[in-house]
Amino acid sequence: MNDIDRMKELVTQLNEAARAYYAEDREIMSNFEYDRLYDELAALEKRTGLVLANSPTQAVGYEAVEELPKERHESPMLSLGKTKSREELASWLGDQRGLLSWKLDGLTIVLTYREGRLFKAVTRGNGEVGEVITPNARTFVNLPLQIPYQGELVLRGEAVITYADFARINEQIPEAEARYKNPRNLCSGSVRQLNSQITAQRSVRFFAFALVRADGVDFENSREKQFLFLKNQGFEVVEYRAVTAQSMAEAVAWFEKKITDYPVPSDGLVLLLDDIAYGEALGRTAKFPRNAIAFKWADEVAETTLRQMEWSASRTGLINPVAVFDPVELEGTTVSRASVHNVSIVRELKLGIGDRITVYKANMIIPQIAENLTKSGSLEIPCTCPVCHGPTQIRQENDTETLICPNPDCDAKKLKAFTLFVSRDALNIDGLSEATLEKFLARGFLHTYADLFHLDRHREEIEQMDGFGEKSCQNLLASVDRARHTTLARLIYSLGIPGIGIANARMLCREYRNDLDRMLSASAEELAAIDGVGPVIAGAFEDFFASDKNRRALEALLSEVELEKESFSEQERPLSGQSFVITGSLEHFENRSALKEAIEALGGKVTGSVTGKTVCLINNDSTSGSAKNKKARELGVEVLTEEAFMERFLQGQKEK
């Protein structure tokens, strides 16, 4: 392959990885591999003098998503040149004084304050255009909403989520595959939420790293004086140390020692010239400013031998590969295991038992395989599930292959089923976390859903379990008793019928006036004719109750619960036959799902796209230039704010 063909290949690979990471919050390539390929491309460009269109060495970030309002930055937000050499870092600084700080791994935000109050917050976006996330920024836990300085203040910083908050939030997500891969992905999704209430729950923090403008303040030509000014305004500034070329090695070593226990994700350091005028006089390249440079940790890599590939079955049927290798010392700890994520990466690395591999810690924290030196490609993908021993399947979504167990009765899926059953929209049993359910399943307390209502049989053993006691057990049993009083819709949803959420369950119950016998005897064709159900949901419902096992499970539950009586009338369905679209953030409802349920409860239908049949588009930013607003205007569909919609269509309805 010649140089130009190799460059084309590298541009494609790197842009695909960047798109997944920045726009879709998923990772298809390790940081180690991305840096290696990026450096190879940069070297080829230097050698050939050729830079291809769309080269990641010229691009700055990625396009903003469609849903949030967009805004162009006053000046481009450039990436930083980088090095992994400590000597090069000192040489770059020369005889200047610099500020060495953490390079935090989150989402870059530009803040504007006017008359002492937060006026605007915009994400970095593609460096030229970002997303306006002002309501979300107001929820950042350490961000001052009012400051002493009354002039216009513009600054840049990093929104981050600490490792501790990352772990806490992931623990609240029942599905292992739905959990976030790293704090950076979680932060990116949190900052760009359409509902600021969700952002507020994520404990996002902001660390300032650059002052862009503060008119009328004399900083005596010093970046450090700018940092101190920001501190005095109430901002948390990224931790830094003043350095010279002579003290560089000592300062880098100080950060290196501290990173293993540092609570905030960091993927390196930033060296900034303290002399403002000198730095600005250096100008910029097409991609990089010349007054700062990034230092990325040279990953400590160890060579070892792959001894085993464990395949771990999850609650949703995914079977995840975990590499087990001869123990090696990395960043001061012994490492012997690393997640390989999916089948695609197994095949890309051409793994085989006995292969010589190199391993490292991504960001000095997470063990990863860097390279396979042997590339035997002899590792067999399991044909049977490690739990139920039934046949496996390989599922492909986009460009990623994953291994799954399709057996609906696999023991690995029991935990998922019970977790759904006790969740808030189902039976709503407090005190039964995923961890507790796992313990109860392991001890044999639970075989069927009905067993949950007889946990009192195991009272003495539960009281002796870690995390329990007499009071905790008493509270749990009381919560179980409260759950006996429920609705048919909640009960149907709790069974975990594929595709049937709480709104669909309510729709079915309303259609059949809570007559369960009529509902169960209905054919798929009859069910599909119900507005808002359709053939897929109808088929899933019929298939589920065609199983004797599922019928028996429902009958057992009906003997344990007391269903609340609900009355239905056509007057309660004033929106029957009407179609609506919701976009953007909401103020009166908890989220768009809550408003969707309110509309469906009144007989209406909520769709994802605007058509000629849409009654109205609900959007609090009714004047925005979003794709849905444009489509509505083209078709003559009315755009209403949430409040206007409620006044016209939901009068007398209870808000959430």
Q: Active-site positions?
A: 103
- CA 148 to CA 140: how far, in whole Å? 19
Please provide the distance, in angstroms rounded to a whole number, between the alpha carbons at the two ends of the chain: 62
How are strands ordered across the β-sheet holding 614-618?
Answer: 605-607, 579-582, 614-618, 638-640
Cα dihedral 411, 417, 423, 429 sign? negative
- CA 624 to CA 156: how far, in whole Å? 25
Using DSSP, state whether 249 is helix, strand or coil: helix
In this structure, the strands spanning 605-607 and 205-214 are unpaired
> Contact, 184 vs 362, CB < 8 A?
no
**Tokens, residue 10:** 């590298």
> Contact, 192 vs 133, CB < 8 A?
yes
Backbone phi, then psi, for 615, in 5-degree steps? Answer: -70, -45
Sequence-distant (6+) residues with CB within 8 A of 361 are 299, 300, 330, 331, 335, 367, 368
Helices (H), 49-159: 86-93, 134-137
Closest CA to 149 of 120, 121, 114: 114
DSSP annotation of 59 reads -
> Contact, 626 vs 67, CB < 8 A?
yes
